[in-house]
A and B are shown apart, each in its own frame.
Chain A
Amino acid sequence: MRQTCNSDGGVGSTENVQARGITLLSIFVDTPTAEPNPETKLLADFKTDTHLRKVYLAGREYLNKEGQTSVSPLIGKIMQQICTDPTLCPEYPSSFGLPEFTRRATELVLGRDCHAIVENRVLGVQTVGCTGAVRLGAELLKHWYNVSGVWCGPVYLSSPCDDSLAGIFEAAGIQDVRRYRYWDTEQRGVGVQKMMEDLEMAPEQSVIVLSASAHCPTGSDLSQKHWRLLTQLMVRCRFFPFFLLPAQGLCHGDFQQDAWPVRLCASLGMELLCAQSFSHSFGLYGERVGHLLCVLKQSSTLLAVQSQAEKQVRALWSRPSVRGARVVATVLSNPAHHVEWQEGVKSMVERGILVRERLREKLRLLGCPGSWDHLIQQGGLYCCTGLNVQQVEFLEKRRHIYLHPNGCLNPQFCLAAPPGSLQRRHTPKLAVWLCLSTHRIIRVSCLRSPLPSL
C-alpha cells in the first residue's frame, strides 16, 4: 500500500497528516510517466520551436485550397438540417450504431451486389473512428480466433505502419505482433519480393494487416497483379486478412478501385475484417466516424459473431456517437448527395496529385539528386520521401521542418497559408529548398542508405 497509517490506524487528509508530521504517499506514486507517442512528441517539439519559419509536415488531415481543414457546403447543409430535424430523437443507438450507416458503409466497400452481402454473411459495426474499428476487430480475434483456447497472435503489420497499430493489438491482449517488410528504400516503393518472403515464413493462421489503398504512412500500394499473388499466398497459408481502409476514394479518386483488394478477397470466398474511416473523405475528424466490416464464410455464424461483437462494444464504449454517422448515412443514401460528395472527393484527389507533381517538379528543377517519381506514384494522404533518419533529423534540428522520423510527410501541409494563420503551412518552394539542402550537405548518407529497421 502506498499510504502510511498514523498510530490509530486511520489515514487523515493531507493537512491533518502533515500536521502530525507523517509522510503520505500517493497510491499512484509508482505510476511512471508514459512515453509520449511519436506523433504527439513531434507536434509538441514543433510547438515549442520558436523559429519563425518552422514547418510542420506530419499532419493527419486533408487540407483545402486555403490550407485548412473544412467540410464541404453539402456537409454543412446536412448538419444544419439534422440540427433542426424534429423527428430525430436523442435515443441510445444500438451498439452496432445506425443501421443505415452500417448498411451504406458496407456497400461502399464491397459493392451492393457482393455475394457476401446477398448471402447475408456480412457484419457491419459502427465504431469510434478507425482506431475503434481496429480495436474491436482485435478484440474479436483475441476472443474468438481460436475457440478452444486464447489466441494471442501472431499479427503481422507492415514496416512501416501507423505507429499506434501495434499498441492497439497489444491493448486487446495480443502480444505477438510482428512486422513484414513493406517499404523498400532502394526501390522507393513497395518491396514486394521481400514482403512475400516474410509472409511465406509466417505461421499458418497468422493475421495479416494490409492497407487496401493509400498506405499509411508511405502512400505506396501494391499493384493489382501483386494483390493477386498475395491473396494466393494468403489462401494457401490460411492467413486471415485484416484490411485498413481509412480513406476510400482518396487514393485514386475511384471508390471501387480503392477497395479493390477487399473485393478481391471477398470474391475468393475469404473471411476478412476491414477497418474503415470516414474522417478524411467527409472532413469529419472530430466526429469519429468509423466502421468495422466482417465478412464471414458462412451465414450460419453471423448471429453468433454479431452477438459477441455487441458484447465487446458494450464493455468498450457501449454505443457509438451518432452525429457524424448520421451525416455520412444521409449523404450515402441520397443519390444526388452521393454524386456531389464523390465529385468533391475527386477534386481533393486532383488537388493532392497537383501538390505532389509540383513538389516533384521543383525538386527536378533544383537538380535534387535521385529520382522523385515515387512522389507521384504514391497516393492518398501520405508520401514517403525516402529520406533517412539522419536527413529527417537534419531537417528538424537545422531547418525546423518536421517530418515523421521515417521520412514520411503529408504534402498538403506545404500549401500556402492565409496571412496570420498557423506557421505550419508554407510554400512548396521553401520545403523543397530545404529538402535539397539536406542532400547537398549530407553526401555520405545520401539517398541510397537503407532506413534503420523499425
Chain B
Amino acid sequence: MSIFAEVPQAPPVAVFKLTADFREDTHAQKVNLGVGAYRTDDCLPWVLPVVKKVEQMIVEDNSLNHEYLPILGLPELRSAASKVALGDDSPAIKDGRVGAVQALGGTGALRIGAEFLRRWYNGTNNTATPVYVSAPTWENHNAVFSDAGFKDIRPYHYWDGEKKGLDVTGIMDDLENAPEHSIFVLHACAHNPTGTDPTPDEWKMISEVMKRRKLFVFFDSAYQGFASGSLDKDAWAIRYFVSEGFELLCAQSFSKNFGLYNERVGNLTVVAQDKDNLARVLSQMEKIVRTTWSNPPSQGARIVAITLNNPDLFIEWKGNVKTMADRVLLMRDQLKAKLIALGTPGTWDHITQQIGMFSFTGLNPKQVQYMIKEKHVYLMASGRINMCGLTSKNIDYVAESIHETVSKVQ
C-alpha cells in the first residue's frame, strides 16, 4: 500500500490553469490576458538588449567560475539591489544598517523573510502573530506565509469594487484595529492584481498609523521601474517608510524588470536600526537559507549585478525598463480610448489610473466567463487582465469583446 495513497489532489493554480486552457483553445483570435509576464507588441517574450549583452560578457569572461555563491548570495548583487530600492544616497545605507539576502525571485525573498519573522519576530517562534495581506492580493502570499508557519493570515480591505479604486477607509480601519505587532504585506507599487496604489498622501497616513500601532512593514516590490518607468518614483513608498525610521523587510524581484523570469533573481532587503541588529538578523537568515537552498543560483545574479554596478549598462537597463513601461501605458490609453469610442457602458478611467502590468477591469465572474467562452479572451476570474497581453493587433478585438460582454451580460 502506498504511503501516498490518500494524498488529495491540490487545487490547480488558477493562473496556470488559465494558460493551459488558452493553449488548448484553437480559436483564431484567442487572446491571453492572464499571463504574468511582459510581451512585446508581437506577443512574444522579450530578452532585454542589455541582458543579452551582459550574458555574452559573462560567457566570454574566463575569470568567472562556477563555484558556489556565498549562502547569502552574490555581494555585488545584494548591495546594488538594495541601493536600487532605497536610493543611491540613502542615509540608512550610509549608516551601515541595510543588508540583504539574495533569494530565488520575489517568492524566495518573501519566504526567507517570512521564515525569519516566524522564528524571531514578536517573541520566539510566535506562529500566532497575525499576518495581513491585501484583499485581493497575489494568490501566493497566503501560501508563503502559511508554509513558513504563520497560523493567522488575514485580509485587509484594499479594493473597492463599487468605486473601482482604493478602499482607503477600509485600509485605515484595518490598520487601526489590527493587534499590535501584526505584520502587514504592502505592495510597493503596481499592486497585483488591482494595479491600484495609494497616493503619496495615503501612504503617509498608512505610515502614521503603522508607526503608532507598532505594525511590521513587509514590502513586496516586484515591479520597480516597470510601473511608472521610473525606478525612483516606483520606490517612493519604500523610501518614505525608511525615512520615517521604520525597520522593515523588502522582498525584491528582478523577474519582470530584467525579464529574467527563469533565472530567479530576487533580493530580500533588510533595514534595521543599526549594524549590530542587522548582523544578528542576517546570521539567522543565513541559517534559514542553508536549510532551504543552501546557496542561491549564480547566473541571473551576475547579470543583474553587472548591469546595476556599471554606469553605462545601468542607463541602458533603465531605458529597456522604460520601453516596457511605455508600451503598457500606451495599451492602457488605447484600451480606454477604444472603449469610450465604442460607447461601452460604465466608466473606464480606472484603466489609465491603474499602474503596472495588471488592471482590474471591474468585469464580474459571469462577464469573465462570457469573455473566455464566447470571445476566447482569457482573463482571471477576478477580472484582472495583463496589459502586456494586449497588442496593436488584438486591441480592437479585445475592446469589442469587452463592449459586447458588458452590454449583454450583467
Contacts and interface: CB of A to CB of B under 8 A. Distances in A.
Contact of B291 (A171, A285, A303, A305): A171
B244 A13 contact: yes
Contacts of A32: 280, 284
A26 B272 contact: yes
B120 A307 contact: no
B347 interface: no
A120 B274 CA distance: 55
B358 to A, nearest CB: 16
B4 A33 contact: no
A130 B293 CA distance: 8
A320 B264 contact: yes
Interface string B1-20: 11111111110110000000
Given A147-B6, A304-B9, A318 B291 contact: no
Bin chain B's interface residue count. 35 or more
A184 interface: no
A420 interface: no
A186 to B, nearest CB: 33
Question: Which label, helix, strand, loop or mixed, suits the secondary structure of the A interface?
Answer: loop
B295 interface: yes
B35 to A, nearest CB: 9
B154 to A, nearest CB: 18
A131 B291 contact: yes
Contact of B67 (A28, A34, A61, A240): A61
A189 B366 CA distance: 69
Contacts of A131: 290-294
Interface string B264-303: 1000000011100111110110111011111111111000
Interface stretch (B254-262, B334-342, B375-383): B254-262
Contact of B283 (A34, A69, A71, A288): A34
A363 interface: no
Contact of A286 (B36, B68, B286): B68
Contacts of B261: 90-92
Contact of B297 (A5, A17, A287, A297): A287
Contact of A316 (B44, B65, B147, B290): B147
Contact of A271 (B2, B107, B294, B297): B2
Given A26-B247, A311-B143, A301 B67 contact: no
B192 to A, nearest CB: 14
Interface stretch (A162-170, A194-202, A377-385): A162-170
Interface string B79-108: 000000000000000000000000111111
A31 B280 contact: yes
Contacts of B299: 286-287, 321, 323-324
A93 B67 CA distance: 24
B177 interface: no
Interface residues of A, number: 91
Interface string A409-440: 00000000000000000000000000000000
A27 B247 contact: yes
Interface string A149-183: 00000000000000010011011010000000000
A307 B9 contact: yes
Nearest to B255: A92
Contacts of A27: 121, 216, 247
A350 interface: no
Contacts of A144: 3-4, 7
Interface string A287-301: 110000000111001
B326 to A, nearest CB: 20
Contacts of A69: 65-67
B8 A135 contact: no
A146 to B, nearest CB: 8
B281 A240 contact: no
Contacts of B279: 33
A212 to B, nearest CB: 19
Contacts of B212: 5, 9-11
Give 10 nearest A-B pairs by CB, closest first: A286-B298, A13-B245, A317-B104, A131-B294, A318-B107, A128-B293, A171-B291, A26-B273, A297-B2, A307-B10
Given A13-B243, A320-B264, 15 more contacts: A13-B245, A27-B121, A31-B120, A35-B287, A36-B283, A80-B59, A90-B261, A168-B291, A171-B288, A285-B66, A301-B2, A310-B13, A314-B107, A318-B108, A323-B262
7 contacts: A31-B120, A90-B46, A304-B7, A315-B143, A317-B108, A321-B263, A324-B299
Interface of A: 1, 3, 5, 9-14, 16-17, 24-37, 40, 60-61, 68-71, 79-80, 83-84, 89-93, 128-132, 135, 139, 144-145, 147-148, 164, 167-168, 170-171, 173, 205, 240, 271, 279, 283-288, 296-298, 301, 303-305, 307-308, 310-312, 314-324
